[in-house]
């Protein structure tokens, strides 16, 4: 199954092509490793600060506050209403505590994990369909 890139990832790749930059060139420009830079621009990891640094370096629009922010808040509210900890949610979702924490705090994106957590908590994940990949 092919993973769809976020608009920001697509914009980075286009800017790199236009400037004839390799991933290594971009990594050198931002002071990060090639592997980490590649993971960022391919949507495998996410760091708001580094994404902003890349955006500034390439002179492209920074990623907006993600739609996931409202989903993350909804998750935290649902957890409080149930009296659940992250560990409780992780067990209910059959996920590790660390991965669950990363998902619900917006540090990692996974559409499957978002759907699973949303189903467990009975909250809407529809607004994230194009954002959480």
pLDDT for 26-84, tens place per residue? 999 999 999 999 999 998 988 888 988 999 899 887 765 455 677 888 899 999 999 99
Instruction: Give kind and range of the element (H or E) at residue 74.
Output: helix 68-82
- The whole-number pLDDT of residue 66 equals 52
- Sorted by sequence, the CB contacts under 8 Å of residue 43 that are 6+ apart come out as 3, 5, 6, 9, 109, 133
Q: Does the model's pTM come out above 0.85?
A: no
**Whether residues 52 and 18 fall in one domain:** yes
Of 92, 8, 82, the closest CA to residue 74 belongs to 82
Domain-embedded: residue 1: no
**Whether residues 111 and 85 fall in one domain:** yes
Q: How confident is the model at residue 2 (pLDDT cuts 50, 70, 90)?
A: low
**Whether residues 76 and 100 fall in one domain:** yes
């Amino acid at each position: 199954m092919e993973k769809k890139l976020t608009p920001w990832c697509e914009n980075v790749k286009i800017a790199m092509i236009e400037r004839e930059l390799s991933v290594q060139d971009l990594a050198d420009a931002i002071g990060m490793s090639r592997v980490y830079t590649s993971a960022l621009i391919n949507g495998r990891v996410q760091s708001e600060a580094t994404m902003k640094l890349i955006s500034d370096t390439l002179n492209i629009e920074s990623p907006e506050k993600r739609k996931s922010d409202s989903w993350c808040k909804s998750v935290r509210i649902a957890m409080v209403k149930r009296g659940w900890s992250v560990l409780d949610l992780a067990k209910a979702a059959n996920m590790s505590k660390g991965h669950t924490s990363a998902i619900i705090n917006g540090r990692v994106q996974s559409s499957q994990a978002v759907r699973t957590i949303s189903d467990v908590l009975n909250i809407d994940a529809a607004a994230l369909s194009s954002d959480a990949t």
